[in-house]
Structure 1
Amino acid sequence: MTISGVPSTSQSLNVVTLKDWNERSRSQAEVLQELNNKAKAIPEVSVSGFAFPEIDTGEQGPPIGFVISTSKGYADLANVAGKFLDAMQKSGKFVYTDLDLKFDTAQMHIKIDREKAGSYGITMQQISATLGSFLSAATVERVDIEGRAYKIISQVKRENRLSPESWNSYYISASNGTSVPLSSLVTMTLEPQPSSLPRFSQLNSAVISAVPMPGSSIGDAIQWLQDNSKELLLQGYNYDFKGEARQLVQEGNALAVTFVLAVVIIFLVLAIQFESIRDPMVIMISVPLAISGALLALNAFGFVGKAGATLNIYSQVGLITLVGLITKHGILMCEVAKEAQLNHGKNRIEAITEAAKVRLRPILMTTAAMIAGLVPLLYATGAGAVSRFSMGIVIVSGLAVGTLFTLFVLPVIYSYVASEHKPLPEFDENIKPIEGEINH
């Protein structure tokens, strides 16, 4: 399907529907990469392919819409937006960029010499009516010919309307009946103007549409735009986002808050369970270790251009899930270590050493079971395969790396940071039993 004139008269939007997954061997990302590579060879035309967002945003066009708004004029706005567009093209982070505010339309300004027109007895209304009859293609009357009605249009021939020099052949009648050249009464100038005057939040605006480079996420592109806006945007200019980028910014902030709340709630629950602040701190050490493993895997797969290996909404949800899964390993070890201190009077080093030995097999079996259940997400095909890969790679890699660090790093930290639990009186070997007789 092809839609011409969208989003502007000099552009066209082509929608391509791929065959069913069972009828093709290449993914959507592979097809897009080949199309973009071939499109670069087309001279004097800017062509870019992009996938529609999986979540409907109500917007058409590329996934990134960077909005620059100001109360200043469109000429100043176009100058600032043009410099920002040049910086984006030179950054190497975008495969396609386009600015909707373009001064590509000629606007005619007509200045009438009122004194000279008055000397001929010609009014402003006469000049306006004459120009309208020559150029406007208005219907002045209808005529019936053999039972059919035809419009009578007042307009000069097409060849007399194509250039400003055609005005030399236009005449207007003076009050004494003579014909006066319009060119002697009217001065015409052409000035470039934008074909549309976009507005955003009741301010003059310009939108830069962009598609990130393959292997680069929308989040990375948004971060680059936010960082460089401080330097490239002058005082009095604001920025915002449209389309998928806007939704990612809004949802990303919400997910960040959700992530922090998840960590805080888990910490508070553990503090209540262990009746200590130190033990939950030791358990939560596994969280940054697991997250570092997940992010390392994302960067590795993103470097080779794997689709979905980006920090997107799905991978962020995977990180939240990872927090809950990885803390279970720390709980298993710290719980046994606490019981060893309370019931057997062992110190922290002896307790965590015993806990590591006792809980080694359960931790490995639990991790293996969870990873085995999530591995199919990494090899998923069909619709939604990219989003499933994003979530799966985060959890699988985070669990693998987090478990490894939990087994070796957590015991060391526990021996220095964890609380020293005093043995319960009934299990304290230093307390001698009370001797006495029982009378029956």
Structure 2
Amino acid sequence: MRAILFSFYFVFKFFVHWLLEISFRFSHALFIGFGLFFYMIYLMSILIFAAPANWVLRFFQWTYGWVERKYPDWLKMALRNRTAVLVTALGLFLVSILVIWPNLGSELIPEVHQGEFYVELRLPVGTPVERTDRRILPIEEEIRRIPGVAQVASVSGVDKSSTSQTEEGEHTSKLTVRLKPTPNVAAAEERVIRRIRQIIARHSGFESDIARPTLFTFKTPIEVYIKGYNLNRLQKFGRDLEERMAKIPGLVDVRSNIQRGNPEVQIYYDRKQLARYGLSIRNVASIIRNKVRGDVATEFREADRRIDVLVRLDENDRESLEDLRHLVINPRSPIPIPLQAVAQIRVNEGPSEIRRIDQQRTAVISANMAPGYDLSKLNRAIYNQIMDMGLPRDFTFEIGGQSKEMETSLRSLAMALALAIFLVYIVMASQFESLVHPFIIIFTIPLAVIGVVIFLAIFGIPLSIVVYLGMIILAGIVVNNAIVLVDYINHLRSIGMDKYNAIVQAGKVRLRPILMTTSTTVLGLLPMALGFGDGAEIRTPMAITVIVGLTTSTLLTLIVIPVVYDLVNPEKVPVTAGEPLPAVDPPEDQP
């Protein structure tokens, strides 16, 4: 198991600290459990044998007794039909991997429901903050009246100089909605969010985006990048794709960074007039900037504080276009020259943002994913829409967001899983002093995958990073049962028992330890799988993966691993000197 935990160091950066914590907890639990094992066995034996058997104990004893009587017959039947057993196991594995696995849903990480979420509202760019606040108030009041809502807090407007985000400004508002405590937080959130979308739809002019707090830093589920040099065509393609994505079922809160521009004052210089007066565009622009925005002339010192002294025109001299037209652009000359003498001044709409990625102009269209939809299927639908748009050759596109992060994480997890299996094999090879027996034991890992994939498909649990982490942990747990079984078979053969009877006898003797080990592990993980407490959405898929995989692997290990051992191993091994041969049943059922 420590080999599995060591492989977690190679998992991608988002989960390193979390996985290190899990690794240390597992290691400490193993060491403490080993130290208390014998003492607890002594105490529990006193309690169990001293007390009268209750109905639970009697039911367990009856069930185990029935399995113990039937298992040798099942095992002998499997040994007589080795080909059928192996073909069935291989067929189940191939069907689960090639048929069921590609149709499973996928997500980067399960969505965590904390009873709190954010609603971002945007009016057209250039809307004053006072008007934004007035438009938000009715929506805020309607949200407060939704049953189940405990608190609503809003912040309207963001100083444009304090943010680099084009989507933020005086035209934006952010509402924080907190729900009342309820047993089913997920259902309550979906119900309230659905009502909020209906409320926003009744108020025209708003764009909205609803998001939940995240435990990790992840991108928007869907992000599409269109890259090209021509800004006008880039804006056209960006708006076209935004409209197409808004019509795809499962995508919500679709928006683009190609927004309406901010109203701005544009100055068109007359180069001939500038040359006539001996002026340059650079000097004139610098003078205008210093007079309108201001220039730090000196510092005012008070104790340890330094305060910049900003010098600019009085507000009454720079509040209108006429003031700007009469702005003197040659302050040191004896004859003042107004700006309107060398330039035309207009109010136009400028681009809201020119975003560059890899030094290319880029339009970014993002969207959230509605509950119950598959990220990979939505990506395919977006890809088909982009193909229908017919982008020219000088334009490229890329689908990113969480799907890109998921590809990166899956590569890291695949490396961690391969490293975990390799380390487990190396440890077993050194203990068994054989390369064949560890190979037999490794067969338990694909047997576990069969159960995990089928269970995920039946109950609609999507593949996520947490599920893959559960599979990595599973790789270190499921081999324990096969180790116990193969080791005892080798022991019986080393003292002279033939292969067939050694397999049957080892199955009888090791049946109870294998079932008890699996039962205790499953029962220990059951509270985590049931999803109690905050953050259960993260823990539950991993616990379910381990429980289902371990249960399936145990049941198949008791049948398939003996068959594989019988097929791979030769009949004769040397007998250890000085040890008596055990009395065994005659192999009357041996073919």
TM-score norm. by structure 1 comes to: 0.67
- For the residue of structure 2 that corresponds to 1:194, the secondary structure is coil
| Structure-2 change in CA distance of 1:419 and 1:257 (3 Å) | same
1:323 Cα deviation from its structure 2 partner = 0.8
1:107 Cα deviation from its structure 2 partner = 6.6
**C-alpha distance in structure 1 between counterparts of 2:373 and 2:577, whole Å:** 59
1:71 Cα deviation from its structure 2 partner = 5.6
What residue identity is the alignment partner of 1:340? L
- For the residue of structure 1 that corresponds to 2:316, the secondary structure is strand
- Structure 1 residue 99 corresponds to structure 2 residue 259: no
1:246 Cα deviation from its structure 2 partner = 6.2
- For the residue of structure 1 that corresponds to 2:253, the secondary structure is strand
1:238 Cα deviation from its structure 2 partner = 5.6
What residue identity is the alignment partner of 2:485? M
> Contact 1:71–1:204 (CA<8 Å) still a contact in 2?
yes
**C-alpha distance in structure 1 between counterparts of 2:577 and 2:374, whole Å:** 58
1:137 Cα deviation from its structure 2 partner = 11
Structure-to-structure mapping, 1:416-431, within 5 angstroms:
416=567, 418-420=568-570, 422-426=572-576
> Contact 1:267–1:280 (CA<8 Å) still a contact in 2?
yes
- For the residue of structure 1 that corresponds to 2:177, the secondary structure is coil
1:86 Cα deviation from its structure 2 partner = 4.8
1:401 Cα deviation from its structure 2 partner = 1.9
> Contact 1:290–1:326 (CA<8 Å) still a contact in 2?
yes
What residue in structure 2 maps to residue 16 of structure 1?
Answer: 177
What residue in structure 2 maps to residue 52 of structure 1?
Answer: 213
Q: After superposition, what is the alpha-carbon deviation per residue over 1:168-199, rounded to whole angstroms, capped at 9, x for unaligned?
A: xx9xxxxxxxxxxx9xx969796x65312223
| Structure-2 change in CA distance of 1:426 and 1:325 (3 Å) | closer
| Structure-2 change in CA distance of 1:357 and 1:425 (3 Å) | closer
| Structure-2 change in CA distance of 1:103 and 1:222 (3 Å) | same
- Structure 1 residue 68 corresponds to structure 2 residue 68: no
What residue identity is the alignment partner of 1:352? I
**C-alpha distance in structure 1 between counterparts of 2:446 and 2:383, whole Å:** 25
* Alignment match of 1:153 (pick from 316, 321, 324): 316
Give the total of aligned pairs: 379
Q: Structure 1 unaligned runs (5+)? A: 139-149, 162-166, 171-181, 304-308, 430-440
**C-alpha distance in structure 1 between counterparts of 2:394 and 2:271, whole Å:** 43
- Structure 1 residue 282 corresponds to structure 2 residue 445: no
Q: After superposition, what is the alpha-carbon deviation per residue over 1:215-271, rounded to whole angstroms, capped at 9, x for unaligned?
A: 3466x47965997699587666364756x6665554443222111110121122223
Q: After superposition, what is the alpha-carbon deviation per residue over 1:17-47, rounded to whole angstroms, capped at 9, x for unaligned?
A: 445xxx43332x2233113322343425454
- For the residue of structure 1 that corresponds to 2:210, the secondary structure is coil
| Structure-2 change in CA distance of 1:276 and 1:230 (3 Å) | farther
1:385 Cα deviation from its structure 2 partner = 1.6
Q: After superposition, what is the alpha-carbon deviation per residue over 1:346-387, rounded to whole angstroms, capped at 9, x for unaligned?
A: 23x444333322222211111110000000102343322211
Shifted more, 333-342 versus 72-81: the winner is 72-81
**C-alpha distance in structure 2 between counterparts of 1:374 and 1:401, whole Å:** 15
> Contact 1:93–1:221 (CA<8 Å) still a contact in 2?
no
What residue in structure 2 maps to residue 294 of structure 1?
Answer: 452
- Structure 1 residue 361 corresponds to structure 2 residue 512: yes
> Contact 1:212–1:221 (CA<8 Å) still a contact in 2?
no
| Structure-2 change in CA distance of 1:251 and 1:124 (3 Å) | same
What residue in structure 1 maps to residue 356 of structure 2?
Answer: 199
> Contact 1:108–1:188 (CA<8 Å) still a contact in 2?
yes
**C-alpha distance in structure 1 between counterparts of 2:433 and 2:571, whole Å:** 10
Q: After superposition, what is the alpha-carbon deviation per residue over 1:35-69, rounded to whole angstroms, capped at 9, x for unaligned?
A: 332234342545453322112x2x7xx74362526
| Structure-2 change in CA distance of 1:230 and 1:114 (3 Å) | closer
Structure number with the bigger relative contact order (C-alpha 8 A, sep ≥ 6) is 2
> Contact 1:222–1:245 (CA<8 Å) still a contact in 2?
no
- For the residue of structure 1 that corresponds to 2:495, the secondary structure is helix
- For the residue of structure 2 that corresponds to 1:344, the secondary structure is coil
What residue in structure 2 maps to residue 434 of structure 1?
Answer: none
Q: Structure 2 unaligned runs (5+)? A: 1-152, 159-164, 295-312, 327-339, 580-591
1:321 Cα deviation from its structure 2 partner = 0.9
| Structure-2 change in CA distance of 1:156 and 1:96 (3 Å) | closer
1:344 Cα deviation from its structure 2 partner = 2.5
Structure-to-structure mapping, 1:247-266, within 5 angstroms:
248-266=406-424
TM-score norm. by structure 2 comes to: 0.52
> Contact 1:343–1:423 (CA<8 Å) still a contact in 2?
no
**C-alpha distance in structure 1 between counterparts of 2:350 and 2:503, whole Å:** 75
What residue in structure 2 maps to residue 318 of structure 1?
Answer: 470
Structure-to-structure mapping, 1:36-435, within 5 angstroms:
36-41=193-198, 42-43=200-201, 44=204, 45-55=206-216, 57=217, 63-64=220-221, 66=223, 68=225, 70=227, 72-82=229-239, 84-86=241-243, 88-105=245-262, 151=314, 153-154=316-317, 193-216=350-373, 220=376, 224=380, 237=396, 239=398, 241=400, 248-301=406-459, 303=460, 309-347=461-499, 349-416=500-567, 418-420=568-570, 422-426=572-576
1:89 Cα deviation from its structure 2 partner = 3.8
**C-alpha distance in structure 2 between counterparts of 1:157 and 1:367, whole Å:** 79
| Structure-2 change in CA distance of 1:328 and 1:372 (3 Å) | same
Name the one with the larger helix percent.
2
What residue in structure 2 maps to residue 33 of structure 1?
Answer: 190
Q: After superposition, what is the alpha-carbon deviation per residue over 1:274-317, rounded to whole angstroms, capped at 9, x for unaligned?
A: 3443333322222122123223333444x3xxxxx443333322
What residue identity is the alignment partner of 1:329? N
What residue in structure 1 maps to residue 40 of structure 2?
Answer: none
- For the residue of structure 2 that corresponds to 1:424, the secondary structure is coil
What residue identity is the alignment partner of 2:363? A
| Structure-2 change in CA distance of 1:292 and 1:151 (3 Å) | same
**C-alpha distance in structure 1 between counterparts of 2:317 and 2:366, whole Å:** 43
**C-alpha distance in structure 1 between counterparts of 2:220 and 2:425, whole Å:** 37
> Contact 2:265–2:345 (CA<8 Å) still a contact in 1?
no
1:211 Cα deviation from its structure 2 partner = 1.9
> Contact 2:228–2:394 (CA<8 Å) still a contact in 1?
no
